[in-house]
Amino acid sequence: MTTATNSNNPTIRKRFKLKLFWKILGWFWLTIVVLITLFSFIAYINSGKVHFRVLPPPIMMELENATVKAQNYFNRTETRQGRSKRRMREVFILNSQGEEYLGRPVPAILSELHSRVQRADRPLTAFRKQEAFVGGLPLQIQGEPYRLYMQQRSRMFSVHLVRSFFRDITKTLLFAVFVISFPVSFLLSWVITKPIRQFQLATQEIKANLANRSNLVKLNNRSDEFGELAQDFEDMANHLSRLLSSQKQLVSDVSHELRSPLSRLKIALGLMEKNSQDKNIERIKLEARRMEDMLENILTLSRLDADEIDTQKEPCDLSKIVQSVINDAQFEASEASINIKSQILPNCDLRGVQEALYSGIENIIRNAVRYTGQGGTITITLENTDDHYLLTVADSGPGVPEDELDSLFEPFYRAEFARTRETGGVGLGLSIAKRAFALNGGTITAKNIEPHGLAILVYFKTT
């Protein structure tokens, strides 16, 4: 129904929504990656493997200072050298054969470090969980070549151990993340969200047709909470179906029962008009016609919902049907000084139910006449666009709020501004049109047009 456009309504912005599947996938993936990394690091530091690295600058400077001091001690007199042996217990001095100058046992990690330093001919560091040695700078003692090493606290190398871990297992970690953890996370997320997707499909099916419950049946077969929820959902759908059926039956029965007294009322009005000049008789006749139209619309909608209309499709010319409806609407439009402009493409052949097509087209054109207003213009076009016929009925009325466009095709829906005595109607015309066109494979939409007005667009697939 055409109503005034509320230009003050703020534009509704759609918020970005991250689907539950991707949220679950992200959390699963992050959790698995953290666990893989943590367990790998624990295994790495407990493996006992010795790691060798080039000395960082601060440690190198400390080693150089220690080597200079040691060389100074050994360059002094024999007495001072004896004293220096006691003072040099904090370092290890190894010859080319790996023997310690003070005769102390050499740890295995230091022995391996000494071999590597001699091969590389440069200072290195060796560390593992609880041991760390640095060194390899050369010095001379009584003309014999030695190399100096210092034992460090392992906690000083905690950062280096972490860096070494990531450097050593980067490829393995990437493989675990992308080849193992991602597919596992994807599978878990898919399994968890599958019932939710089925519920979404089930609600869409029920929204289109309460009798269509194929996805709900699949969920009912589950033995978990989703199955119980599906059963509750089906019970609710059955309850709604019974309520709607009762409502439709009641409306249909009442409409049928009202037709007889309405017919008698019209006969009585005809007799009164012959014998009386009361001006109120015309008003009563107008209201009687409106009531008759309303009952006819209710019965038509009831027949379409109950599939009681003849659905046998046959070849028909959409152009002739549209033109016939326009000719019938001209009389009603002329009373309100409404100008109907039409541009109808001839020979628009399709297979359809002619009764439903005529009813749907009649309702959208009469709706345009009703809401265009005195002296307005209605433009009707029928054209061929790609593989569709497009029927457009545009009026010069005030239009409707954007957020109410989709609701125009719901039964008994009328925007608040449209509820006036002058326009009449109960909000069934466009609902009947939607069902009538759907019976013929057509779709109907509505949009506002500039500077004001409403356009109804109907698409039919060409044969």
What pLDDT, in 10s, does the model give residues 21-58? 777 878 878 887 788 778 777 776 666 677 788 887 88
- 3 inside domain: no
| Claim to verify: residue 173 and residue 96 sit in the same structural domain | yes
Whichever domain contains 288, its CATH number is 1.10.287.130
- 14 inside domain: no
Look up residue 312 and give its two tokens.
């046998």
- For residue 307, name the pLDDT band (cuts at 50, 70, 90): low
Q: Is residue 6 predicted with pLDDT exceeding 50?
A: no
| Claim to verify: residue 95 and residue 177 sit in the same structural domain | yes
pLDDT tens readout for residues 79-98: 444 444 555 566 888 898 98
Instruction: Answer yes or no: pTM beyond 0.75.
Output: no
| Claim to verify: residue 103 and residue 74 sit in the same structural domain | yes
| Claim to verify: residue 99 and residue 167 sit in the same structural domain | yes
Q: Is residue 456 predicted with pLDDT exceeding 70?
A: yes
Q: Is 151 exposed, middle or buried (0-12, 13-18, 19+ CB in 10 A)?
A: middle
| Claim to verify: residue 436 and residue 363 sit in the same structural domain | yes
| Claim to verify: residue 293 and residue 429 sit in the same structural domain | no
Q: Strand order in 124-127's β-sheet?
A: 51-54, 124-127, 132-141, 144-152, 91-95
Between 188 and 15, the higher pLDDT residue? 188
Q: Is residue 106 predicted with pLDDT exceeding 80?
A: yes
Q: Is residue 274 predicted with pLDDT exceeding 90?
A: no
- 10 inside domain: no
Q: Which of 295, 305, 309, 306 is nearest to 260 (CA)?
A: 295
CA distances from 128 to 119, 152, 213, 320, 415 (A): 21, 11, 64, 92, 78
Query: 394: helix, coil or strand?
Result: strand
Of 350-354, 423-427, 438-442, which range is least confident?
Answer: 423-427
How many domains does the chain fold into? 3
Residue holding tokens 């200079």? 68
**Which residues have CB under 8 Å from 9's CB, separation 6+?**
401, 402, 403
Whichever domain contains 83, its CATH number is 3.30.450.210
Kindly give the pairing relationship between strand 339-344 and strand 377-385: parallel
- For residue 251, name the pLDDT band (cuts at 50, 70, 90): low
Q: Which residue, of 204, 235, 268, is where some domain finishes?
A: 204
Dump the DSSP string for 89-122: TTEEEEETTS-BTT-PPPPHHHHHHHHHHHHHTS
| Claim to verify: residue 344 and residue 434 sit in the same structural domain | yes
Between 69 and 308, the higher pLDDT residue? 69
CB 206 within 8 A of CB 212: yes
- 347 inside domain: yes
- 1 inside domain: no
pLDDT tens readout for residues 143-198: 889 999 988 765 544 566 666 666 667 667 777 777 777 787 788 888 888 888 88
Of 103-112, 116-125, 431-440, which range is least confident?
Answer: 431-440
- For residue 235, name the pLDDT band (cuts at 50, 70, 90): confident
Of 260-269, 344-353, 362-371, 432-441, which range is least confident?
Answer: 260-269
- 191 inside domain: yes
Chain Cα centroid distance, residue 285: 54
Which domain does 281 fall in, by range? 225-304
Query: 248: helix, coil or strand?
Result: helix
| pLDDT at position 306 | 57
Whichever domain contains 448, its CATH number is 3.30.565.10
Look up residue 4 and give its two tokens.
């005034």
Query: 137: helix, coil or strand?
Result: strand
| pLDDT at position 395 | 92
| Claim to verify: residue 298 and residue 325 sit in the same structural domain | no
Q: Strand order in 388-395's β-sheet?
A: 339-344, 377-385, 388-395, 454-461, 443-448
Q: Which of 174, 223, 168, 158 is nearest to 195 (CA)?
A: 223
- For residue 447, name the pLDDT band (cuts at 50, 70, 90): very high
CA distances from 7 to 143, 192, 395, 402, 448 (A): 99, 45, 18, 9, 12
| Claim to verify: residue 194 and residue 134 sit in the same structural domain | yes
> Mean pLDDT over residues 109-117, rounded?
90
Query: 337: helix, coil or strand?
Result: coil
Look up residue 187 and give its two tokens.
């599978």
Between 3 and 229, the higher pLDDT residue? 229
**Which residues have CB under 8 Å from 263's CB, separation 6+?**
none
| pLDDT at position 160 | 61
Look up residue 295 and give its two tokens.
């009952």
CA distances from 158 to 50, 51, 101, 131, 387 (A): 14, 12, 30, 11, 71
Between 66 and 393, the higher pLDDT residue? 393
- 215 inside domain: no
Q: Which residue, of 204, 236, 257, is where some domain finishes?
A: 204
Within 13 Å of residue 212, how many CA atoms lie on the same side as its CB? 10
- For residue 259, name the pLDDT band (cuts at 50, 70, 90): low
CB 289 within 8 A of CB 325: no
| Claim to verify: residue 455 and residue 326 sit in the same structural domain | yes
> Mean pLDDT over residues 371-375, rounded?
85
> Mean pLDDT over residues 368-373, rounded?
86
> Mean pLDDT over residues 359-380, rounded?
89
| pLDDT at position 66 | 85
Q: Is residue 446 predicted with pLDDT exceeding 70?
A: yes
- For residue 131, name the pLDDT band (cuts at 50, 70, 90): confident
| Claim to verify: residue 133 and residue 193 sit in the same structural domain | yes
| Claim to verify: residue 196 and residue 229 sit in the same structural domain | no
- 213 inside domain: no
Phi, psi of 399 (to 5 degrees): 85, -175
Which span out of 3-17, 309-323, 355-369 was modeled with the highest average pLDDT? 355-369
Identity of the residue numbered 306: A
| pLDDT at position 391 | 94
Give the integer Cα–Cα distance in Å for 76 and 264: 138
Q: Which residue, of 172, 204, 236, is where some domain finishes?
A: 204
The length of the chain is: 463
